[in-house]
Chain A
């Protein structure tokens, strides 16, 4: 008997029977529900499904506005008409696209390509075929609406940079989310969404982006809107207030003019970046509109590389500006006693080489103060050797050279501060004593970014505190409430004696203020300015015929002012200037400093008034939306 050995009490069977009853009951409900939906209300539902022309339309959120430190708008949005095509509503897609191409005065192929570009998209969802249609285009489409089923015009926010290329390397640009953006994003990013692609727009994308809204829209059989059934408003992105000073930025960029180079100005009291300029630049508006292939090629193939942010990504030998850090090391290690120094006769022999001073005739007897003021190479050859390459590297790093500053910009480059370990790692070779001589005057393997040099200058100016350079001051929600206030952040203390800093500062003061100073051209009447010139060789003197641009020297100038209570510290680089920093870079620093103090009413206006104001007005004229935008 099969049941004899069962160890199942009878009440289990009862329970299972009850459970079976429950199951039957639940299924009865399901059958009833299906009958109700499919048979009783089926005909009704069929009609609804056939007329199911309720669309979910995403309403893109306006990206957050960006202000400079004085409340001037640097990045804004303006309305733009976008041509949106919903393939599902067009009985004959090709015909519609052909008509559309005619109306937009575009080759049919171009329109077709844009239609095919996005891959996985439901057919009821619109594809943006053209952003920012002009007024004529709007009229053309409106009048031919009947021939264009499925084509609608949507008003969407478009990123707008009122000052064009001004500060382009800080602000960055936006564009449609790429496949990679979509894959990497943690938030609900959809094809066609606009995201930050570079620099500020990218680094602060999460703050700026906002939350798209939605509309439930009823459309007719041709896809034309009948009514909006329900609407969820979009939440605009947060507002950023930068530490950047728009006017000062403009003065700096104008001072650089057509030359390639960079200007960085930092408030040494808290690390706020006032100016972060890189030239040549590009107009980010071109990207917001949707950059054309030819335009992109022109930008990437330009030998001056306008997309490159020289201020934070450019790595250049610092030349004599580096002597400031080396001098601090020499003083800290007490290598010069009293008024001791060297006798410069125009160069020193070392091994098989003869290391020249920039002044052929020599400087004669030189102490450390004079060595900085006159930028005597021989002094730094001699004492740099005593300090040793590792000693030089130690002090350079104390001032933040060779380290990324941590500014909120992608691809910040660290530069190179060589030491014995670095050489071993990089070249699998020991350090040669002769190489120390080049390093001591900021040549050889040494490279830094303009931002690092400005950071070093700010650190010296404030007595040795390394504030992290930052350019965002405040983040506010669209309703004006404060989201975050960016507080100054101390990276480290340089750890250098106050006497050392005082000595360096005093020498830097004389670079500008002394009658024989190499940085005289940075003088601002009524203000004590300190600085240091630099001329960085790109190729060895012997190799250079000084003809080609690429072989010409870089000109540097670092400065801070006023000497007693520094408010502004800066670094100026003119790439391949072909001459010394005193002649080529110091005048740029002068213009920035002049404007900075002049605007505060602390110095009289220079006779040749700074061109900035005029340009400002032009820029404001551009700011009001062009007539075709509305």
Chain B
């Protein structure tokens, strides 16, 4: 293959820089969250996060260097591979914190539900780049729906309510942006709403509690409600300038649950205050706007849908995670992209960014 010089001149610089900035802050924050005064040196989780970030950047660059349209042709293959992984999790997965989410591959554990998000974006982009341009009817929705519900169901039984909800949200977003009319989507949602009571009974007790808690936090100040209250105190007590790096008392008194994953934003906001939190949000917003801009300028509909799908994934995760740590939304386990501790998530999100960069870099080539 002849090397096209335009790949260099049109290289997408802004998006990776924004993402690297967010990830850098994230690693600092994982360090702080897992830091204990007695331990000297880098806490293992921060070191691991750094390693995963390095691996992720490599994957990102690989994604840029290769033509994203090749993914288009292999969309179903990727999809099937991920579904197989999800089934493997059910059969031979490792249990952690009461759910079966991880697969052990040599020295590392991977979380296939993270890969599912990535494959979902590709497979739906593939589908919607081939359907009639606009105003899709209910018939065109059946297939993408089945595509969504299979991995969503597999993730729900792990159980991982957060990831399942996220997967569905991203799919819905891609359907709407891909041309499905809102009224059909509403029609589609109605049986889901009707099924809600049945779904409710299938939720784990702690999940039910969390949702009830959100509706009335005073109900259980010891359990789930306690975490919302403590998280809000952590965020709020950061005030304008924050308490300073490693100085978050809420964090270090261990009032926060899962402080290096789901509640990392509280740790960050406590230490860096409104200025830090707003800067972080500004970075996320820039990533999203850049992603959508790349989508609108892309050459083909597959590239467009890919860029939108990745942006949607990031958007929903940021909105739900921050909403939950600041007490705007119920607590569901969703991590903050590029920020929360977790290798699979870091790897898949950076791969997604690489994909968007690939779309951007190739917008003038054909």
Contacts and interface: CB of A to CB of B under 8 A. Distances in A.
Q: Are A and B physically bound partners?
A: yes
Interface string B187-220: 0000000000000000000000000000000000
Contact of A26 (B233, B301, B319): B319
A545 interface: no
Interface string B281-304: 100110011001001101111001
Given A16-B308, A34-B274, A42 B236 contact: yes
Given A34-B277, A38-B269, A38-B273, A49 B319 contact: no
Contacts of B232: 37, 45
Contact of A16 (B278, B296, B364): B296
B281 A49 contact: no
B298 A230 contact: no
Interface stretch (B21-29, B119-127, B321-329): B321-329
B221 interface: yes
Interface stretch (B155-163, B249-257, B343-351): B249-257
Interface in A211-239: 214-216, 229-230, 232
Contact of A42 (B240, B322, B328): B240
A43 interface: yes
A55 B288 CA distance: 40
Given A16-B177, A23-B289, A38 B296 contact: no
B150 to A, nearest CB: 26
Given A30-B322, A39-B274, A42-B239, A9 B249 contact: no
Contact of B237 (A12, A34, A42, A215): A42
B281 A123 contact: no
Contacts of B364: 2
A29 interface: yes
B253 A52 contact: yes
B295 A16 contact: yes
Contacts of A33: 326, 328
Given A27-B285, A214-B222, A44 B236 contact: yes
A232 B326 contact: no
B235 interface: yes
Given A19-B177, A34-B277, A45-B232, A7 B254 contact: no
A15 interface: yes
B326 A34 contact: yes
Nearest to A6: B299
B177 A15 contact: yes
Contacts of A9: 133-134
Q: Which secondary structure dominates chain B's binding surface?
A: helix
Contact of A34 (B226, B278, B288): B278
Contact of A23 (B236, B315, B363): B315
A161 to B, nearest CB: 33
Interface in B232-250: 232-240, 249-250
A46 B285 contact: no
Nearest to B237: A49
B299 A38 contact: no
Contact of A49 (B226, B233, B254): B233
Most buried by B among A6, A29, A122: A6
Contact of B249 (A13, A17, A30, A50): A50
Contacts of B133: 9, 11
Interface in B69-119: none
Interface in A105-139: 122-125
Given A16-B295, A20-B292, A52-B250, A46 B328 contact: no
A122 B237 contact: no
Nearest to B364: A2
Nearest to B365: A2
A57 to B, nearest CB: 10
B326 A12 contact: no
Given A19-B292, A23-B288, A7 B274 contact: no
A38 B239 contact: yes
Contacts of A5: 299, 366
A23 B239 contact: no
B269 A230 contact: no
A41 interface: yes
A215 B234 CA distance: 21
A216 B240 contact: no
Contacts of B319: 26, 30
Contact of B221 (A27, A41, A48, A216): A216
A35 B274 contact: yes
A35 B281 CA distance: 12
Nearest to B315: A23
B240 A38 contact: yes
A56 B220 CA distance: 12
A542 interface: no
A390 interface: no
A146 B285 CA distance: 53
Interface string B156-180: 0000000000000000010011000
A76 interface: no
A370 interface: no
A88 interface: yes
Given A2-B364, A26-B319, A214-B222, A88 B326 contact: no
A45 B273 CA distance: 12
Nearest to A40: B236
B334 to A, nearest CB: 14
Contacts of A48: 233, 236-237
Contacts of B230: 52
Contact of B236 (A7, A41, A215): A41
A265 to B, nearest CB: 43
A8 B285 contact: no
A339 B254 CA distance: 84
A7 B304 CA distance: 10
A31 interface: yes
B235 A34 contact: yes
Contacts of B300: 6-8
A216 B221 CA distance: 8
A11 B238 contact: no
Interface in B251-271: 253-255, 269-270
Contact of A230 (B222, B299, B322, B326): B222
Nearest to B316: A26
Contacts of A215: 222
Interface string A82-100: 0000001000000000000
Given A7-B300, A19-B177, A23-B289, A49 B250 contact: yes
Contacts of B289: 20, 23
A6 B278 CA distance: 37
A39 B275 CA distance: 10
B239 A123 contact: no
Nearest to A125: B254
Contacts of A214: 222-223
B226 A56 contact: yes
Given A9-B134, A23-B289, A37 B235 contact: yes
A255 B32 CA distance: 66
A38 B304 contact: no
Nearest to B303: A8
A43 B304 CA distance: 45
Interface of B: 133-134, 173, 176-177, 221-223, 226, 230, 232-240, 249-250, 253-255, 269-270, 273-274, 277-278, 281, 284-285, 288-289, 292, 295-296, 298-301, 304, 308, 315, 319, 322-323, 326, 328, 363-364, 366
**Nearest 8 CB-CB pairings of A with B:** A45-B236, A122-B254, A49-B237, A42-B239, A38-B274, A37-B236, A45-B237, A46-B237
13 contacts: A9-B133, A12-B304, A16-B177, A27-B281, A35-B274, A38-B273, A42-B274, A43-B239, A45-B233, A48-B237, A49-B236, A123-B253, A124-B253
